[in-house]
Chain A
Amino acid sequence: MTLSATTDDRPRHAARAPRERGPKASAGTRLRGWLASTWFLVPALLLFLCFVLTPILVAFFTSFFKWGGFGFPDDFVGLDNFRGLAGDEVFRGDLWRGFLLVVLTLVLQLPLALATAVLLNQRMRGRAVYRAIFFAPFILSEVIAGVLFGIIFLPGNGLADTLVEDLPLLGGLAGKWFSDPDTALPTLIAVMTWKYFGFHMMIYLAGLQGIPKEVLEAASIDGAGAWRRFRSVTLPLLAPTLRISVFLSVIGTIQLFDLVWVTTTGGPTHATETMAVTMYEFGFKRYQMGYASAISVAMFVISMVFSLLYQRYALSRDLQGAVTSAGGRR
């Protein structure tokens, strides 16, 4: 959008070798040339090393110890923490719930976002206002959204109960929502949809605007109806944007903490617990830092493996231009 000119990813003029570095340059000159370019990187590298890379190494290290969190870890237990995780009902439940959250997001939230984007991509009065409203929840912090819906879904006389009480199908939900293990996860999904679908709608809109009108017109002339145009033209051309939004959803779900912590703290009876919540519980409530580190490592490995596989199999063909121009072209 505003960065239309910035999304080019092809090799560029700046990649040329610096002039001063000829084949005859001495090692000293070359080193000086190298340093002249790299000192710009030093602050970023230091920051990244201290606060991103080191923590991950620390997590790997401490995950091999039984450690209460104070002093230097000295009770080396090898892979025991990971064995513990593998047999832990709650952690296995986290994985299952994480999987459910991802799947339900993919089948509910993203299609809703896509439908809204298609709707708002048409000319209509007040489009900018609608767009702004749908996006607004994304701006608010998870804590605000969580506290708000915690109160809305209060069993008894909350807003949600009052609204559904007399409805035929939803009436059964009254009094349950976050407080019943069977309905807590679906309620969480509803809140997540409220909070995040506007974001996905927004990137789809940017992608839709990148689809040339001529292509759709041509399809129309060839006799394709609205549905056919959507299926055979819009959707394939939007695929790179969709793949990115799936990626962001999954990564976001792996680290889901704030919303859950504020609404249910993972309950009732672990019904909404996520890996990050379990990690917090063990690390900061029960002071089993070694075990909690193992959960961090598991989260790291899961997101890494997912990212690499996804990039390898889903994103690779996009990286040369298709995705990158989707947000940029007008």
Chain B
Amino acid sequence: MTRQAIARSISRHTLVWVLGSFIVVPLLYAVLAGLKTTGALTTNPIGLPDEWMFSNYGTVLSSGAFWQQVGNSVMIAVLTTAITVAVSALAAFAFARYAFRGREVFFTAFAAGLMFPPAVAVLPLFVLLRQFGLLNNPLGVILPQAAFALPITIIILRSFFRTIPAELEEAAIMDGCTRFGFFWRILLPMARPAIGTVSVLAIVTSWNNFFLPLLVLADEKWHTIPVGIQQFQGQYSTDYAMVMAYIVLAMIPALLFYAVAERQLIGGLTAGATKG
């Protein structure tokens, strides 16, 4: 390398490091803060703890509420994703592979769903869910989440289904496959990468959702992690070290999931974004 190239490489890395430290320092601070006493947090915000309070993490981990919230969040995310993907795949199949009257109208209606944010519908949703008796019922979160995930899921799956050659379907039909048989036994297995992508998107959206569960799942036994954190913060409002331990532990599942599913997640977000 020439001297100039080395200098350029160093300055580039320095820039990235400076930027990266803005991202990382708050996260590291959280981990360390969770290991301090709240007293030490105010007298010694930056340094390493004098007294390592692993008990903060221990207290959270041994509380039933934390695990209950993890369980609720997992259950709601899994069911939301299962319903979203199943329902969208059927619809995307029809949109991608059949010509029928009204197809474009229906599709436009779904795609228009992308244009307005869920927060717009939260209040009337609450009113409706109360009418349906779905307050304090996980279905009251699952079904609306699935409904709001439909547009992006249908759009991504539809464009994937379109790439599968028509000859394949013709051959399957000739061999005595029904439409649904083709969908179920041939198309879905082929679409595994796209299904992975949309599933990861649905899981992350559901996992982080706050507004709807806050309104619908007021009962403590149904709290999801985000709602739980907010409650915990209210309860321990001055025990900052404890709150930090709680959010650090709450970050772990999301970051682990990100580590495992990075490719699908980023693929899905960029595909979603570039198609929005």
Contacts and interface: CB of A to CB of B under 8 A. Distances in A.
Interface of A: 1-3, 5-9, 12-18, 33-34, 36-38, 40-41, 43-45, 47-48, 50-52, 54-56, 58-59, 62, 69, 116, 119-120, 122, 124-125, 130, 132-137, 139-144, 147-152, 154, 156-159, 162-163, 194, 198-199, 202-203, 206-207, 240-241, 244-245, 247-248, 251-252, 254-255, 257-258, 261-262, 276, 279, 283-284, 289, 292-293, 296, 299-300, 303-304, 307-308, 323-324, 326-328
Interface stretch (B49-57, B60-68, B248-256): B248-256
B174 to A, nearest CB: 12
A125 B269 CA distance: 25
A44 B87 contact: yes
24 contacts: A3-B197, A14-B162, A18-B98, A37-B94, A40-B91, A45-B91, A51-B143, A51-B147, A56-B124, A136-B27, A144-B226, A144-B250, A151-B243, A152-B29, A159-B29, A194-B23, A203-B269, A206-B274, A248-B276, A255-B120, A279-B123, A283-B126, A293-B123, A299-B117
Contacts of A133: 20, 23-24
A202 B266 contact: yes
Contacts of A323: 274-275
B19 A134 contact: yes
Nearest to A52: B147
Interface residues of B, number: 111
Given A56-B121, A158-B45, A194-B23, A141 B254 contact: yes
Nearest to B94: A40
Nearest to B226: A143
B90 A143 contact: no
A62 B124 contact: yes
Contacts of A12: 162
Contact of B144 (A51, A150, A257, A300): A51
B251 A144 contact: yes
B123 A289 contact: yes
A155 to B, nearest CB: 11
Interface string B249-269: 011001101100011111111
Nearest to B102: A38
A120 B194 CA distance: 26
A183 to B, nearest CB: 18
Nearest to B20: A133
Interface string B84-105: 0011101101111111111000
Contacts of A48: 109-110, 113, 147, 150
User: What is the interface of chain A mostly: helix, strand, loop, or mixed?
Assistant: helix
Nearest to B117: A255
Contacts of A52: 113, 121, 144, 147-148, 150
5 shortest interchain CB distances as A-B pairs: A255-B117, A2-B267, A327-B274, A51-B147, A141-B208
Given A6-B194, A141-B210, A194-B23, A202 B269 contact: yes
Contacts of A276: 119, 122, 211
Nearest to B159: A6
Given A241-B274, A300-B120, A43 B230 contact: no
A294 to B, nearest CB: 10
Nearest to A141: B208
Interface string B203-243: 01001111100010000000001110110010000001001
Given A44-B91, A206-B274, A144 B247 contact: yes
Interface in B153-172: 154, 156, 159-163, 165-166
Contact of A142 (B13, B115, B128, B210): B210
Contact of B97 (A3, A14, A50): A14
A280 to B, nearest CB: 8
B271 interface: yes
B156 A6 contact: yes
A128 B170 CA distance: 43
B168 to A, nearest CB: 11
Given A52-B113, A258-B211, 12 more contacts: A3-B156, A16-B99, A44-B90, A142-B226, A144-B226, A147-B230, A158-B45, A159-B45, A203-B274, A293-B124, A303-B120, A307-B116
A288 to B, nearest CB: 11
Nearest to A40: B94
A142 B94 CA distance: 36
B204 A194 contact: no
A232 to B, nearest CB: 22
Contacts of A37: 94, 98-100
B43 interface: yes
Given A38-B94, A120-B16, A141-B207, A299 B119 contact: yes
Interface in B35-51: 41-43, 45-46
A41 B106 contact: yes
B266 to A, nearest CB: 6
Given A37-B94, A50-B143, A194-B26, A3 B210 contact: no
Given A37-B94, A119-B15, A327 B113 contact: no
B106 A2 contact: no
A130 B24 CA distance: 11
Interface in B178-215: 179, 183, 193-194, 197, 204, 207-211, 215
